[in-house]
Structure formats: structure tokens, C-alpha cells
Amino acid sequence: MKPMTNFMRTLAAGAVVAVGLAGAAVAQDLKFFTIGTGGTAYTYYPVGGVIANAISKPPGSRPCDEGGSCGVDGLIASAVSSRGSVDNVNAINSGLRNSGFAQSDVAYWAYTGTGTMEGQPPATDLRTIAALFEEHIHLVASADSGINSVADLKGKRVSLDEPGSGTYVDAGLILEASGLSLDDVTAEALKGNAASDALRNGRIDAFFVVAGYPTGSLVELASAADIKLVPIEGAGAEALTEKYGFFAQSDIPAGTYEGVGATPTVAVGAQWFTSAKEDDDLIYEITKALWNDNSRKLLDVGHAKGKTITAESALNGIGVPLHVGAERFYREAGLLK
């Protein structure tokens, strides 16, 4: 082999430097952004995955107009499973996560230090990116349980979901509105498929789920066992919606779950939050990416709830201020005056 000439050595050294600089540029441009969701069996997690995919555009991705990613340049977003609304708000507040989904009531109480968050320091840095979809409160029981109303839960074994979830908060409010307390039930803290399995095995009599319908774990449960959705209606539902403006009376349609008829219940908004400390330009670009035409296609096919996530409803029921970056996008888009 011929010895390397000075010229070749110079070329080789230059190539190494070029590769190193290119690698440094890629590393410098790369940004990570987490989205706290919920349990993997419920709605937050799969919807979070669709949104993370929509707003991501890793270095080296094909251009949007060539069929590639239409997200934020250099961004890798990830949907992170969590305990739910309260957990996500706390994680945003502490800086553990960049963003997260939460029920509108939980977020407002955290931001103001009121309601179920009274006595805790207000999460004054909490900011809204978008309202996403409506979540319905499911009270699930076996078809032959004899549980036909919230009042019938007295003395029963009921899963309220994990502390740190929005479901846990709302279950307590629903019991209270119907004249019951946590002391009137034997409370369990089961989530997702664990709650479904416990109901099928007779270890609990009922469980609460707050999620956009149809939610995966309940679809599976209804296909394997005879279940009912217990109505949340009458004086209890009216008391709840009158006291807390975030709740609205709404039905889960017949056929949403196999063998289950239309069921009156109450609903609350699911929204996407971040911290005021997040970079204004980054949140602007994320909000812009969320509502581009390519993301619309991903939302429409990515989850049953996706079609209801629209820019036109992105400001509905907002109780926490918009992030400056998100606000800039909505003003430019003519959605906010």
C-alpha cells in the first residue's frame, strides 16, 4: 500500500472535521418534548401518541411537501404514560415533563389553588396549548350487579382509579353530589385493564373511568363480559354541573360498547397544557404543527376521538391562560381576536 501523501492526509482530516461538525449541528438542532398522558388502556395515551407523531420532525426527515414529516424541525416528541391529570399538572409544574393532558377542572383548580387543590400553592406557570376533546365519566358495573344509580354504590367495592388521576378527583365529586362520601364505599385504586379484570373476577362491584369514548379497555371488557354503564343523572348530576361549571350533562351513545344502550352522564374537557417557562417560539411552532393539514389527516385516522380534535374548538372551555406562543398562533390564524 502506498504511503498517504500530505494532500490525502489533509483531505482525510478535513472529512473528519466535517463529519464532526455535521454531528454537532444535528445534536445542537435536536429538541425533545414530552407529553404526559394517562394509562395505556385509556384515551389520553393513544391520542398523545398521535399528537407526538404529528408535531415531530427529527433531523434528516423528508420535507413535508415531499410526503415527509410536517412537524417542528428537529423536534422529537414522545407520549409518556402517567397516572393522569393531577400527575401531569404536577410534572409540568416541577419541570419533570414539558407538557401534558389534563381535565379542564383539574387544571383550573391547580392554576388557581381552589376547588380540590385548595390549600396548595397555585400552579401559576401553567399554560394552555389547546382544548382537545370531551371526556365522559363512565361508571361501569356488571350487568347483573343491581347497581342502577350512583346511590346504589353505598356499601359496594368501587375502584376510583389511582390518586393523581382526574378520575379519582371526579369520582369523589360525583359521590358527594349524590349524597355519598368515600367512607360509604370500599375504595380501590385500580386503573385500566386491572379494573376491568377485577370487575370480571368479582373483586370489585363497579369502577369509574373518565375518558373520551370509546376507550379501549372498555371496548375489550364489553366484548368479553356483560356490563352496564350506570347513569349519572337526576339531582346529583344537576348539583354537580351547577356547582362546577366545567361539567356538562351529556350522553354516551348506544352501541359505543357492545350490548350497552345510550347512557346519560356528565362530561368534562380534556386539554393540553405546558409551562410558561417553555420557549415561546417552540410552543408557537408546536401549536402550528398541531393544526396543519397533515396533522388533520393523522388525527382523523389515528384514534376514534381524533375527528373531534379541531382548531375550531381549540379554545373551547379554556380556564387557564394560553401560552404566549400558542396565543400568537391563534391570533395569526384568526381564531383569537
pLDDT of residue 7: 37
Cβ neighbours around 327 below 10 Å, total: 19
Among candidate residues 55, 51, 36, the one with its CA nearest the CA of residue 126: 36
Domain count, the chain: 1
Q: How many residues does the chain have?
A: 337
Strand partners for 228: 141
Measure CA 111 to chain center.
Answer: 17
Phi-psi region of 247 (alpha: psi -120 to 50; beta: other; left: phi over 0): beta
Cell triple for 59: 433531523
pTM: 0.83
pLDDT tens, position by position, 93-115: 999 999 999 999 999 999 999 98
Going by C-beta distance under 8 Å and a sequence separation of 6 or more, which residues neighbour residue 59? Answer: 26, 29, 30, 74
Rounded Cα–Cα distance for residues 166 and 127 (Å): 18
Tell how strand 186-188 and strand 99-103 pair up: unpaired
Residue 279 sits in a domain whose CATH number is 3.40.190.10
With contact defined as beta carbons under 8 Å apart, do 274 and 127 qualify? Answer: yes
Mean pLDDT of the chain: 90
With contact defined as beta carbons under 8 Å apart, do 92 and 267 qualify? Answer: no
Whether 17 is covered by a domain: the verdict is no
Whether 232 is covered by a domain: the verdict is yes
Using alpha carbons only, give the angle 218, 254, 245 rounded to the nearest 5 degrees: 80
With contact defined as beta carbons under 8 Å apart, do 84 and 166 qualify? Answer: yes
Whether 22 is covered by a domain: the verdict is no
Rounded Cα–Cα distance for residues 10 and 335 (Å): 57
Rounded Cα–Cα distance for residues 232 and 288 (Å): 38
Cell triple for 37: 398522558
What is the arithmetic mean of pLDDT over 62-89?
93
Domain that holds residue 58: 31-333
What is the arithmetic mean of pLDDT over 212-236?
95
Rounded Cα–Cα distance for residues 287 and 328 (Å): 9
pLDDT tens, position by position, 261-296: 999 999 999 999 999 999 999 999 999 999 999 999
Which pLDDT band holds residue 164 (cuts at 50, 70, 90)? Answer: confident
Whether 23 is covered by a domain: the verdict is no
Whether 283 is covered by a domain: the verdict is yes
Whether 11 is covered by a domain: the verdict is no
Whether 269 is covered by a domain: the verdict is yes
User: With 70 as the cut, is the pLDDT of residue 25 above it?
Assistant: no
